[in-house]
Structure 1
Amino acid sequence: MEWLNSIFMEHSALQAVVVLSLISAIGLFLGKIRIFGISLGITFVFFTGILMGHFGITIDPYMLSFAEDFGLIIFVYALGLQVGPGFFSSFSRGGMQLNLLAIAVVLVGTLFAVLGSFITEISLPDMVGLLCGATTNTPALGAAQTTLKQMGLDATGPALGCAVTYPLGVVGVIFAIIFIRKFIAKKQDMVVDNSDDSDNTYIGAFQVHNPAIYGRKIKDLGRLTQSKFVISRLWRDGIVSIPTSDKVIAENDRLLVVCTEADVAKLTILFGTHEPEDWNKKDVDWNAIDNQLTSKDVVITRPEINGKKLETLRLRNQYGVNISRIFRSDVRLLATPDLTLQLGDRVTIVGESSAIEQVTKVLGNTVKQLNEPNLVAVFIGIVLGLALGAIPIVLPGISAPVRLGLAGGPIVVGILIGAFGPKMHMITYTTPSANLMLRGLGLTLYLACLGLDSGEHFFETVFRPEGALWIAIGFLLTIVPVLIVGIVTLKTMKIDFGSMAGMLCGSMANPMALNYVNDTIEGKHSSVAYATVYPLSMFLRVIISQVLLMLLL
């Protein structure tokens, strides 16, 4: 049995891989268990590591440190790539209001944590750990630990605090949302207003009866209104065509227009008459509405197209086709001339079959190419992120410079590359499954190492008198900010309950709570709100955890 002992107990690279893999496998299996519809998911890896650490299983300290840091780096960088494309656009329209509310949740929780540290005998590093667990934010914990190590201080306390408060952090948000829904929300709060849903396109048919636009070219119509729209088809005298920008509009022309639903009224005034027929049903056979034209969905897979604006391709003039809609990450976008195309975009092309086939070759449509991950961009991004994280930032009132560290640097670079990489013709596309694999692998590795490192002292921490205090404070740090901001939002603002709940889940980085909300509330507003506030909230918590320690220690 020596070989078995060497695999599990004797420190070596083989033993480290075996132990961490075993912890991850057991934790992920347990994470599938649901109690009252709630599961801790991947968090069970953390607690499996704690249990093994408690029973004396260890791995080489250097290997533990490397695996923990590398897992955290992969996770936060892939997270940045995921949220990057929508990070800056999330500040437009209602997104700004939702992000301000999410910032309020973050700041209220931080304020309570600081006050709790002064009122109780809990040290600030331990309180930061409690806050990270209460907000289920492991990247913030990683940033705090990195800061403490840079200051030459012990980083074990925050990990223990996070482990103690994490379970109630998951369910606390759910409890708060249930309370708000039962005792605070009114019937009108549950009604969703879809009139300003900027994430969806709307297809409408209009007839030209406005004398002001008779004889005008299509390219001139855009100057008459601030609304953005794309004319997909034009019927005149029973003949259908793809209108170019130089096409002259005539009386009684029938137009099929792609726009947003909020702009329908304005476009009705512009064109004259809006036809009542519903063109947005899922069962519309676009290839049967006329005999001359057909439509096809094509995926952009040619690297040369990445980062180019739609107007530069001149598809209408050269091939006589029209791109009416663009799908990006399951979001429908208007195919406006100034839209920057990205690898992986799925475009809807309307035109004659022969012309569509030519355009298909121009755009690529070789889906197999997208399945090959661009690892060069991943590793270059990690290097840039670590370089950014190592840059000292001098802040007023802080004696030592602040660094973004292993968590902050990669997530910032990931967001920037995800947002602006295509505009600089960088190929940053990864399939959703590939990104999910990177994030899952990184987070699993980080949690396994973190739990193994914390396990030795976990139970003695929980079962000492201070342990109960830690649990109580952690629960308050979870539920109080959510209740305060949630109640104020419903009482003073015109935000539906679904969007409010999604905002709260995103500000607390709690996907398990979002799953509960999606299961109990119809529509996708909660998911949209979650995605809107999640990037900024995650970034703020990573930075705040470091700044608190640098300022107050």
Structure 2
Amino acid sequence: MLKIASRDRTILMRVVWGALLAMLCAGPAAAQVSEGPSASGVIGQVFETIRPVTEAGLHGFFQLLDNQPIAFVLLALAIGTLIGKFSFKTISLGSTAGTLLVGVVLSMIAQAAYGITYAIPGILSSFMLLLFMYALGLKVGPQFFSGLRKGGLAFVGIGVIVWSLNWVICYFGAKLVGLAPGYATGLISGSYTITAILGVGQSALASGAYVPPAGTSVEQVGANMAAAYAISYVLSTVFTILLIRYLPRIFGYDAKAEAKLAEAQFSGGATDPVPGAPGALVMGFSPYDLRAFAVTHKDFVGQKLSQLAIDFPQVPIIQVVRDGEVLDLSGDLMLTKDDIITVRGDVHDLIHTDGGLIGPESDVSLARRIPLVVADIHVGKHKHAGKSLAELGQVMPGGVTVQALFRAGNELPLGPKIEVQFSDVLRLTGPDAAIKVMAKQLGGQAILATMKSEVLYLALAMLAGYLVGIVTVTISGIPFSLGTSAGVIMAGVGVSYFRSRNPNFGGPVNEGARSFLQDFGLNAFVAVLSANVGPKVISALSGDTLLWLALIGVAGALIPPLVAFYVGIKVFGLNAIISDGASTGARNSTPSLNAIMEESQSSVAAIPYPVSYALTTVLALIGGYFSMILT
């Protein structure tokens, strides 16, 4: 190998740097020497891109964000998430509210200081929101229908309370202080964060259902709606996130403790997640363990594995190592002296299966290097119907144990006399090869934990939910629809519901991927939303009505869920987190749902959310229409 002295190495580095500087200083002429782009040409192009920004200072920076909207979204996400982590006396904004604030401030500065109006295509924010809703539906689906059975009427009552109070506060508040036509409808739309209410208000104007008074044009009424919407939307979004996040604490409840109680309540006493749910295929605590022994006892030497399986059914042999090699167990192998056997069984039984029975315990890594997996298997053969777990255990390959049994999405208690039925789902643990053999015998497929996500089912389910959501029925001039958000979350609920009954449906979804879709989808949606709302806030920051718009909008956003939460826990007897989730859905505040899930460290608040959300979406559209024609 060629060695270079320190002094020579220094001289060589100087020569190399000198050559590079010469290339940079040579200009375009030097670039003609080679056919491809030179280093100076590439570096020059980079500086040509950056120079307008550096020369224009902050103006160039905000112009860059306008030209590159993706950069705006990522910057708002980064800074907003960082701000959301800071807390003051255990109170923090959270990533969603932080992202919204950063995005609004950036867009307002760009508009006020440099006349730059950000307008990011709405399709980006809509798609991000749909990803969030679908991912959320996947997580809460199995509990959703249980929630309907246990608290459906209460969820409907909470929805009606929030909607009616919001309408009364915004409509009569605007009327009381003498706001011009259009402001009441805009306040309802903004404080409820339902943009479609502006659409039904415009529909009332266009159809002639509402005729503006003399001296007021249709355009002016529309501008009033937009101004009230912009002011109340931003303020109500931020303050509602904070209110919903800390509602349990305001009334003296511990959010985490209440969430655990709610999870136990809606799980029906189950201890294992249903098939397809997060954590379903995680190897948790197990009374079963692997141990290896060297065969020295005379009762084992010369014995065949089939006979030992009969003599010691509680401690099956799953691997044999002889002379440093793992033997094939497909035949009826006979043990010899000094073989190392690996067994898997209940720790209690293994403790008593010591060297006195088999031989000394071995620490040979080859004997203990057996990967164990968890798999959900759908029982697809009728011949196993009616067999007890004790009977079924006799045909299981060595080392496979039953961790849980599910029927119609419900966990059943384990016991030797519990009978397995066709279409049940068995959660088995054991060596990978043995699990696959057992799956074949049961007539199903071993669904194992995976790092992949099922894109096909995601796309088809989201498409179906989206198409259902856009179906619109017009009654008396008022357009009604489920809405794409509600349609997609119900698609996620449906997929997870059917998967809990048959894990073959859609295959497993990696929890990390699902969680990423949920968190990134919502915050990216908020970042885009903030860019487009900020300029509207600037245009509304004038006139004597600004203070009234802020006060009425915030009151219409906060008082209804506050009252509904109290009614939920005191009148309907709901768990605090469930009441909070129902109030959040009734307020149509998806970012707030994320906030209470962060605070409680649980997704259980999302169980009542779709019920009250769908109901109040319809009621809010009706109320928005009448707020316009009654002005």
TM-score by length of 2: 0.56
Aligned partner (choices 472, 476, 490) of residue 392 of structure 1: 472
Q: In the TM superposition, what are the counterparts of 1:499-538 in structure 2 within 5 Å? A: 510-511=592-593, 514=596, 518=600, 530-538=605-613
Q: In the TM superposition, what are the counterparts of 1:142-291 in structure 2 within 5 Å? A: 144=197, 158-173=229-244, 177-181=248-252, 198-201=267-270, 287-290=346-349
> In structure 1, how many angstroms separate the alpha carbons of the residues matched to 2:432 and 2:508?
29
Does residue 3 (structure 1) correspond to residue 49 (structure 2)? The answer is yes
> In structure 1, how many angstroms separate the alpha carbons of the residues matched to 2:84 and 2:446?
40
Q: Tell me, what secondary structure is at the counterpart of 2:110? A: coil
* AA at the equivalent of 1:162: Y
Q: CA deviation at 1:163?
A: 1.0
In structure 2, the CA distance between the partners of 1:389 and 1:497, relative to structure 1 (3 Å rule), is: closer
Does residue 109 (structure 1) correspond to residue 109 (structure 2)? The answer is no
* AA at the equivalent of 1:388: V
Q: CA deviation at 1:427?
A: 0.3
Partner of 1:276: none
Partner of 2:367: none
**8 Å CA contact 1:507, 1:533 repeated in 2:** no
Q: In the TM superposition, what are the counterparts of 1:441-452 in structure 2 within 5 Å? A: 441-452=520-531
**8 Å CA contact 1:76, 1:410 repeated in 2:** yes
Q: Tell me, what secondary structure is at the counterpart of 1:49? A: helix
Q: CA deviation at 1:356?
A: 6.6
If you compute each CA radius of gyration, which structure gives the higher value, 1 or 2?
Answer: 2
* AA at the equivalent of 1:127: L
Structure 2: tracts of 5 or more residues without a match? 1-46, 54-59, 207-221, 273-286, 288-310, 316-343, 354-370
In structure 2, the CA distance between the partners of 1:83 and 1:46, relative to structure 1 (3 Å rule), is: same
* AA at the equivalent of 1:68: S
Partner of 1:216: none
In structure 2, the CA distance between the partners of 1:376 and 1:21, relative to structure 1 (3 Å rule), is: same
Partner of 2:518: 439
Q: In the TM superposition, what are the counterparts of 1:345-494 in structure 2 within 5 Å? A: 347-348=427-428, 358-359=437-438, 364=446, 366-367=448-449, 370-395=450-475, 398-420=476-498, 426-427=505-506, 429-459=508-538, 461=540, 465-477=544-556, 479-488=558-567, 491=570
* AA at the equivalent of 1:536: V
Q: CA deviation at 1:52?
A: 1.7
> In structure 1, how many angstroms separate the alpha carbons of the residues matched to 2:610 and 2:582?
11
> In structure 1, how many angstroms separate the alpha carbons of the residues matched to 2:202 and 2:313?
69
Q: Tell me, what secondary structure is at the counterpart of 2:479? A: coil
In structure 2, the CA distance between the partners of 1:531 and 1:291, relative to structure 1 (3 Å rule), is: same
Does residue 34 (structure 1) correspond to residue 90 (structure 2)? The answer is no
Partner of 2:614: 539
> In structure 1, how many angstroms separate the alpha carbons of the residues matched to 2:452 and 2:379?
16
In structure 2, the CA distance between the partners of 1:378 and 1:502, relative to structure 1 (3 Å rule), is: closer
In structure 2, the CA distance between the partners of 1:148 and 1:38, relative to structure 1 (3 Å rule), is: farther
Partner of 1:262: none
For the aligned residue pairs, the C-alpha RMSD in angstroms reads 5.2
Corresponding residue pairs, total: 443
Q: Tell me, what secondary structure is at the counterpart of 1:402? A: strand
**8 Å CA contact 1:393, 1:403 repeated in 2:** yes
> In structure 2, how many angstroms separate the alpha carbons of the residues matched to 1:403 and 1:497?
30
Q: CA deviation at 1:56?
A: 2.3
Greater shift in the superposed pair: 429-438 or 142-151: 142-151
Q: Tell me, what secondary structure is at the counterpart of 2:477? A: coil
Aligned partner (choices 54, 58, 65) of residue 108 of structure 2: 54
Q: CA deviation at 1:484?
A: 3.7
In structure 2, the CA distance between the partners of 1:29 and 1:530, relative to structure 1 (3 Å rule), is: same
> In structure 1, how many angstroms separate the alpha carbons of the residues matched to 2:609 and 2:269?
20
Q: Tell me, what secondary structure is at the counterpart of 1:549? A: helix
**8 Å CA contact 1:84, 1:418 repeated in 2:** yes
